[in-house]
Every structure is written in structure tokens, then in C-alpha cells.
Amino acid sequence: MRIDGIKGCFSGEMVACGGVNSYGTRYGSLHRSCGSARLNASTMVRHYLIKGRVQGVGFRWFVHREAESIGGLRGWVKNTDAGHVEIVAAGDATQLAELKAALHKGSRGSRVDAVVEHELAENEADALGPFQIEGAW
């Protein structure tokens, strides 16, 4: 699976990234691009779609908090119009395994019915900034 429209730019200016994923969900972000933000050679990129009772229960904030506690992850989390939560994360295998375990666990008050995972190309990480919540404010 490829998320269309992600482009990397490493000159330090503000860049807009976004597109439409294979589920038809539009996404976008504005972040400061920086050459030193490149991830290492063991970087993996994953797209997760979380199904269940995951909206209105603090799930995005839970994911953000987990990503921050793992450290070193880049990407974003957002609600979808279909009632799911969508995540794109870049990190090493250990970091992504920790995140995936947290996604299965879910936040207090949530119910995770399914975690659908897709592997993305490593170059998809180029445009990802520090892990953030999309559309939260």
C-alpha cells in the first residue's frame, strides 16, 4: 500500500504534506522540514487502521502519549469519517512493535475490535514530522 502525495523536503521551510490514502481518506499536515530529521536505515513505516469504539474516548491522545513514551517515532494519528482511527508511524521494528501492542490494548473507555496494518515504503517516512494528532484543534 502506498499513501499518495507524501513528499520529502529537507531545507528547513514549512511544508505541506498530504493526499488521499487507499481508503479514500484525505489527510494533511504542515510541519517544519529539516535535513537532520531523516530516519536511520532500519526505519520502517506502517499504516494502521483501528476499528471499534475508538472515537470520543481519548484514543488519539492515548496513541500520541504512547508514541511519545516510546520515543523516536514520527507520524500522525487522526479520526476517519467512518468512525475509525488512522495512524501512520515511522520507527524501527522495536518501536513499531511497542506501538502496535499499545494499539491492541487501547485507551481506557475504548474497545479495539481490529488493528489493520499495512507496510509502507521506507521513503514514505521522509515527509513525516514529530508524532502529532491531526485535526485535534
Where in the sequence numbering do the catalytic residues fall?
Answer: 60, 79
18-24: long-range contacts, CB 8 A cutoff, minimum separation 24: 21/47, 21/86, 23/49, 23/80, 23/82, 23/86
The answer to whether the CB of 100 falls within 8 A of the CB of 115 is: yes
User: Which residue, chain included where needed, has cell 501512520?
Assistant: 88
Which helix (H) or strand (E) segment holds residue 129: the answer is none
The C-alpha atoms of residue 134 and residue 29 are separated, in whole angstroms, by: 7
DSSP bridge pairs for 10: none
